[in-house]
Amino acid sequence: MSPPESFRAAFGRLSPLARANVAALGGFVLLLCGQLLPQWRHNPDLAHGLLMPVLFLVLLHESRRTGPRRYLAGGAAATAGVAALALAGLAVLSVAGLYAAAVDWSNALVEFLLATALSLLLGAALVAVADRRIRLVPWNWTAAVAIGLWPLTAPIPSGMYSRLTLALQLWISTGVMDVLQLLGIAAHRQGNIIELATCRVGVEEACSGVRSLVSCVFVALFFSAGIVRHPWARAVVIGVAGPLALAMNFIRALTLTLLANSGTTIAGFWHDATGYAVLLATAALLAGLAMGLQEEGESGMAKAETGNPEVSSSALSTFILSAALAAAALLVLFFGLNTHPAVNRNAAVPDLAALMPDTPAGWAAAATPDLARFRDQLQTDVLAQRTYVGGPATRAIQITLYLAYWRPGQTPVSLVDAHTPDACWPGAGWVAQPPGPSSPGLGISGRSLSPVEQRLFANSGVARYVWFWHLYDRRRLSYENPYSAAELLRLAWRFGFRHDGDQMFVSVSSNRPWGEIAREPLLQEFFAHLQPLGL
């Protein structure tokens, strides 16, 4: 079994153009790390991303040291693979830039697409440098995992995140209720909220299991590449990761519920301590499983492929990769030059309470007193909500107005996107209904409020209509046609790219459709107050 050639020797045999490709890829890795660093630092779901740059280099090193050191024969198939992966990476990068024009660079979908584009470009480079005439990085599972882990360090796109967290919240709360009934503990569940005899316990997003699920899959992939050597063992480690993460998080939720039922205050120490304990225990169990599946003796290294080490790299593959990286650099430069500081970044924080309309004659109004409990979840303390009730008792009209504000650069757009009614209302027992025919925009006092998102929910036979808007840098984020590249490019030229803008989320909900409440003076006054803020 021949020892692996040193990286310095292999790198020294590269052509100047191939060396430039490696340097360019290193630059793209650093750019993505800079983009994702705020997420890694402030989003607990992605804290494992802080280790990614080191793990990336460790896995690449292990791919050369422990093998198997398989190399590709080159030829038309390898060249086509380089071209296909490079073109896919450029396409994904272009889409990420267009979405950034509409929803900001910190949007979850944008950052996920950026990470995916990097993985595709790195994959093209792997096919090129795994040629047996180059032998810089071998073609094996360890190298593939080093490249494929990048998207797992980016935030999950908001729509997928909302559906996943909601499904997990309801699954955990249902399971906990079943166990409580087996134990003879009186409890009632409504959505993701469990009402005990002495308190209420809510399975919030942080307790849904997404954090442990993503981290567990990330760790399992790393262990599959760094510890075990056989495909069946790797499949076992990866296959066990998801169910293990969900099971451990369920145990945590049940433990916290039982503690709350016994009178223990679970907020603070117990909530955080059990969370960290679950993550550490899950990682330890996976590590033990991986080491138990690691076979003694044969390391799985294959003899290096034969070939002439003096032959230079495949000129065509190197040229294709260079052209793709140059195009990627131009795309990044184009998007970067069109990104400017937000126009209203120095604007004063609005007084949300003052934006709420006065109570009309014959109506009753009440502010929601406990909004402060959502500060940590929403990452803002500038919140206001007021409910108005009026009209005849038999057909009373109820209108709830909600406002939330984030200072410039305070939180990513993706966090605001993740807390729409689609994510929050079902957790409280409301079931989404088919909204029926909807217009692209709503009118109030003779002006249009488009674009608007409209929803319909029902709970125990009661229907609620919901309309909401997301403002960024005092302009409405447009979701008119997110699948149209032409529309997104038009938005880019019209608004340019912005960063560090302030954000506001506006929601109106009622037990009556828009046509029956649009003429109400309180609603007209509300939107008149919001017009200077971009709505």
pLDDT digits (tens, 9 = 90+) for 395-445: 789 999 999 998 887 776 766 766 778 777 776 777 778 766 555 567 777
What are the DSSP E strand ranges found in 265-372? 339-341, 364-367
CA 227/CA 17 separation, integer angstroms? 34
For 467-498, what is each residue's pLDDT tens digit? 988 888 777 765 444 445 555 556 555 555 66
pLDDT at position 304 is 45
Question: Does residue 347 or residue 287 have the better pLDDT?
Answer: 287
CA 21/CA 14 separation, integer angstroms? 10
pLDDT at position 427 is 65
Helices marked H in 149-200:
158-182
Tokens of residue 207, six digits: 């307790």
For 96-124, what is each residue's pLDDT tens digit? 887 776 667 777 888 999 999 999 999 99
For 216-253, what is each residue's pLDDT tens digit? 999 999 999 988 888 898 999 999 998 998 898 888 88
Question: Does residue 335 or residue 80 have the better pLDDT?
Answer: 80
88 falls in which pLDDT band (50, 70, 90)?
Answer: very high
CA 177/CA 165 separation, integer angstroms? 18
List C-alpha distances in Å: 503 to 46, 107, 354, 412.
23, 12, 18, 9
- Read off the pLDDT of each residue in 21-37 and give the average, rounded to a whole number: 94
500 falls in which pLDDT band (50, 70, 90)?
Answer: low
pLDDT at position 22 is 92
Domains of the chain, residue spans? 7-160+209-337, 343-533
pLDDT at position 431 is 77
Beta bridge partners of 468: 453, 507
3-state SS, residue 89: helix
Q: Structure pTM?
A: 0.74
Tokens of residue 224, six digits: 């599959």
> DSSP secondary-structure letter at 72?
B
Rounded to 5 degrees, what angle do the CA atoms 290, 294, 297 make? 165
Nearest to 472 by CA among 489, 495, 454: 495
